[in-house]
Structure 1
Amino acid sequence: MWPAEEIFMNTKKLGTCMLLGGIGAAVAWYFTDPEKGERRRSSVARTAGRLLEKTRHEGMKTLRDSQNHLAGLAARIRSRVTVDEASDRVVEERIRSRMGRVVSAPRKIHVLCDHGAATLWGRVHIDEIHHLIRTVESTPGVKNIYDHLEIAEPEEATAAPANPVHEARRQTRLHWSPTRRLLVGAAGAGLALYGWRRKDNPGKATALLGAGMLLHSTMKHRMWATVALDETSPGFEIDKTIRINAPISDIYDFWVNPENYVEAFSHIAKVERLGENLYRWSMVGPASIPFGWEGKITKAVPNTLVEFKSLPGSGIGNFGSVRFDPNYDASTRVRIRMFYRPPAGILGRFVAELFGGGAETILDADLRRLKHLFESGKIVIRKPAFAEDEAESVKLATT
């Protein structure tokens, strides 16, 4: 080895040692600071304890899930190699339990079994008949099928509208079992390690693929929902609950009229009524940046529920519901469940939280302020203008 190369290698090693030493000194100073060191050490210890407990819990859940999968696999194998002597009632229950996965209205379909012969009658959507018949045919214990199903009319087959929050949660959640997460994560870690050790371009690609698989195995939501960059994504979920010592009717009257929000919510600058249940919102965002959107109250059940939704094309897409439940002590339990999509999706959320303007932080502060206003009697509730007009009309009609 030439002297110049040896000097370069020694200099590189010295620089690495100095960098590591500097990092070690900074970490040591951070945890041994006379004023804040003890609190920092305690915080790290608590975080490590919670992480270990969560790891233990997830490990036990994965173990139970694997045991259940193996037990189910063994049961399926036994059912294929042994003669199924289940009663007709048991076979009927098997069919009913499977129908709920392939048809939208399983209660409209009737099932009767007689010595393994399954008779089906009722009304079903035309697109679901094929899947239903195949499902019944594959049910253990079924020998023959007598099809007396009728085609449902389009308006009859249409299901009732689902709760928008529940539907958004179902679409965005990554419904992977613990066993599947473990297998995908282990495979990703193996690929990442293999690709990193190869040190060439194919190895780098393999390592990147493995790292992506490992990251995906830890995610609770689908990727398109996590980044929230377009209107097809519901955005980010918020679920908050607070108890307010006030009559449920007063709290409902406050929520059903968004014009009341300006008094209680610090981030709402102005709410302008455009029509019945239609409003234009003006909001002060992080770094005092103004935002605005138009939204409407989509459903209102007195003293029970208020649902809201922004109009298409809004700068901040949002929808959700506020539910009110009375407590035994005459107080009211208020639960807010919503999705919101800030500009630029996950990047906009990061910037907002960086400036202390995260949606959850703001909502927590606003709910505490709302609780204080109600319990101190300092809030003035305005009813919607259309409700006042309707009350005045009723009053004039009775005089």
Structure 2
Amino acid sequence: MAHPISFLKGVCCGAGLMYFMDPERGRRRRSLLRDQCVHYCHKATRAAEVVRRDAQNRLQGTVAEFRHAFQHDEPADDVLTARVRAKIGRYVSHPSAIDVDASGGRITMFGSVLARELDGLLAAVRSVRGVGEVQSALRVHDDAGATPDLQGGVERRGERYDLMQEYWSPTSRSVLGAAGLGLMATCLGRRTPSSMLLGTLGLMLTSRAMTNLDTFKLLGLGGRRRGINVQTGLVINAPIEKVFELLSDPQNYSRLSDSIESVEDLGDGRYHKTVRLPGGAEAMLSERIVSVQPNELVRWRSEPDSFVPYAGAAWFNKLDDNRTEVQVCMSYNPPGGVFSHLAASAAHMNPKMLMDEVLMRTKQHLEGSQPSREEGGERTGAAASTGGHPAGSEPQGSPRVEGASSPAQAGEPVIHNL
């Protein structure tokens, strides 16, 4: 074939026209496409405004620091104390265990501190603008031991450059995302080995900027449960007792979703379930329900032998006697990270779709609008990874749920700080 690329372009264009101009479903598909375009235009507008404000604030801060660098600063004692305390909170794991006294530029510190944090703390306090002398009256401990003030706490890493932090600022994300797009464009234009390396780097920068996830979460490495966040919610016109009874019982989910093939109750709140993946493959997921507060909250998380690590929670809020709001939030870390999530979203198979489907079918069942499902119909995979509780056979006394189908929108990675 003389022009295979042109032929493939023609095939894709023809398939697209057939998909959107279908006599029966074309109108709905065009409406959904229009709604998605409007949605992302609004998101882009809001994101641009966030970036503008962030860049403006950072520029003003840089100018102020540069101006004050050439001025002799003699702040009031209370102002200097506030500056020192703000600095301490970035360098020690127990800032509340340290008292600060300021007098004419001289700083005296009292309280308790861990030995490994002392040198960094003193250097940080000396660097505060307006500090002339630092005196330490701190009690130094090799470890927390039985010292009440040093129990718990979170390890601090000091002040790190923006790109070394877990979450980037909106300005950094926009600049590096644009740089990544430029590198990918260079790769497409030149197609040399060096440009391919630059294009790969550009893809990683763009993905990092768009998702605001660190490398391990971006690629699904490390086996941690927290990775990609999805959330959804729905108001159901039914008493909170009935809604909670239905959604908190894992055995009901076989009738609320088509994605879960089977479930085995292992006891003690533990379940083993089989989920159908795209292409007919199956994944084994192990889950434990870790917290149940009647008519308020259900929490669950994956077990170490689960194919995908994940954790989630569902909140129930009583609006009135016959209206209940359900909010579901989940974080999961699939193999391949964001790229697997995007592929699942393109195939309409991701945790948000499963949660939307479960909530919609619950609403239809409790409100009495249940579309019938053909007997013996083939089960279709929905979310390959863990959107809800395990499903299986119906236990004695649990509410029965008849099947009902409903379209659900695909999810997308949460973009932090934007």
**TM-score, normalisation: structure 1:** 0.71
Whole-Å Cα distance in 2 between the matches of residues 344 and 199 of structure 1? 25
Cα shift at 1:97? 2.6
Letter in 1 for 2:76: S
More displaced stretch, 35-44 vs 310-319: 35-44
Q: Give me the whole-angstrom Cα distance separating, in 1, the residues matched to 2:312 and 2:98.
A: 33
Contact 1:238 1:337 in 2 (8 A): yes
Q: For residue 367 of structure 1, report the CA deviation from its aligned partner.
A: 1.1
The answer to whether the aligner puts 1:304 opposite 2:293 as a matched pair is no
| Cα distance in structure 2, aligned partners of 1:313 and 1:343 | 14
C-alpha change, 1:377 and 1:145, in structure 2 (3 Å) is farther
Task: State the match for 1:106 in structure 2.
Answer: 95
TM-align CA RMSD:
4.3
In the alignment, is the contact (CA less than 8 A) between 2:225 and 2:309 conserved in 1? no
Percent identity (aligned): 26
Indicate the SS of the match to 1:336: strand
Correspondences of 1:1-399 after superposition (within 5 Å):
22=10, 26=14, 51-150=40-139, 151=141, 153-154=144-145, 157-159=150-152, 175-191=167-183, 200-210=192-202, 212-228=204-220, 231-232=223-224, 234-252=226-244, 254=246, 257-262=249-254, 264-286=256-278, 289-328=281-320, 331-342=323-334, 349=341, 356-375=348-367
> Kindly tell me: are residues 183 and 297 of structure 1, through their superposed partners in 2, closer, same or farther at Cα, counting changes over 3 Å?
same
Structure 1 match to 2:414: none
**More moved, 219-228 vs 31-40:** 31-40
Q: State whether residues 253 and 381 of structure 1, in contact with CA within 8 Å, keep that contact through their aligned partners in structure 2.
A: no
Aligned partner of 2:270: which letter?
L
Tell me, in whole angstroms, the C-alpha distance in 2 between the residues paired with 1:185 and 1:266.
Answer: 38
Q: Structure 1 residue 350: deviation in Å?
A: 6.2
Conserved? CA contact 1:255–1:306, under 8 Å:
no
The CA distance in 2 between the partners of 1:347 and 1:159, in whole Å, is 37
User: Counterpart in 2 of 1:397?
Assistant: none
Quickly say closer, same or farther: Cα 1:248–1:145, change in 2 above 3 A.
Answer: farther
- Match of 2:411? none
Question: Unaligned stretches of 5+ in structure 1?
Answer: 1-10, 162-172, 384-399
Worse overlay, 69-78 or 230-239: 230-239
Helix, strand or coil: the match of 2:306? Answer: coil
In structure 2, relative to structure 1, the CA distance for the partners of 1:62 and 1:239 (3 Å cut) is: same
Structure 1: distance between partners of 2:318 and 2:300 = 21
Contact 1:287 1:355 in 2 (8 A): no
> Equivalent residue of 1:258, what SS?
coil
Q: Is the CA contact (8 Å cut-off) linking 1:266 and 1:366 kept in structure 2?
A: no
In the other structure, the counterpart of 1:3 is: none
Q: 1:206 Cα shift?
A: 4.0
Contact 2:300 2:312 in 1 (8 A): yes
* Separation (CA, whole Å) in 1 of partners of 2:4 and 2:258: 50
Determine if contact 1:116/1:142 at 8 Å carries over to the other structure.
yes
Kindly state the Cα deviation for residue 312 of structure 1 after the two structures are TM-superposed: 0.6
Give, in angstroms, the shift of residue 24 of structure 1.
11
The whole-number CA distance in structure 2 between the counterparts of 1:250 and 1:109 is 51
Deviation at 1:283, TM superposition (A): 3.9
Cα 1:132–1:328 shift into 2, 3 Å: farther
1:196, 1:122 → 2: CA distance?
60
Could you report, residue by residue, the CA deviation over 1:238-273 in whole angstroms, capped at 9, with x for unpaired residues?
Answer: 212122344445544555553454454444455444
In structure 2, what residue type is equivalent to 1:89? D
Cα–Cα, structure 1 residues 236 and 18, in superposed 2: closer, same or farther, change >3 Å? closer
Task: Write 1 or 2 for the structure with the bigger share of helix.
Answer: 1
Q: Which amino acid aligns with 1:153?
A: A
Query: How many residues align structurally?
Result: 360
Alignment CA distance shift 1:147-1:277 (3 Å): farther
- Residue 231 of structure 1 aligns to a residue in which SS? coil
Which shows bigger deviation, 191-200 or 75-84?
191-200
Whole-angstrom CA distance in 1 between matches of 2:12 and 2:330: 44
Residues 60-93 of structure 1 show CA distances to partners (whole Å, capped at 9, x for unaligned) of: 3323222211111111122221122321111222
- What residue number does 2:158 align with? none
| Alpha-carbon distance change, 195 to 280 in structure 1, aligned in 2, over 3 angstroms | closer
Q: Supply the distance in 1 between the matched residues of 2:7 and 2:276 (Cα, whole angstroms).
A: 43
Pick 1 or 2: higher relative contact order, CA cutoff 8 A, min separation 6: 2
SS in 2 for 1:367: helix
Counterpart-to-counterpart distance in 1, 2:95 and 2:295: 33
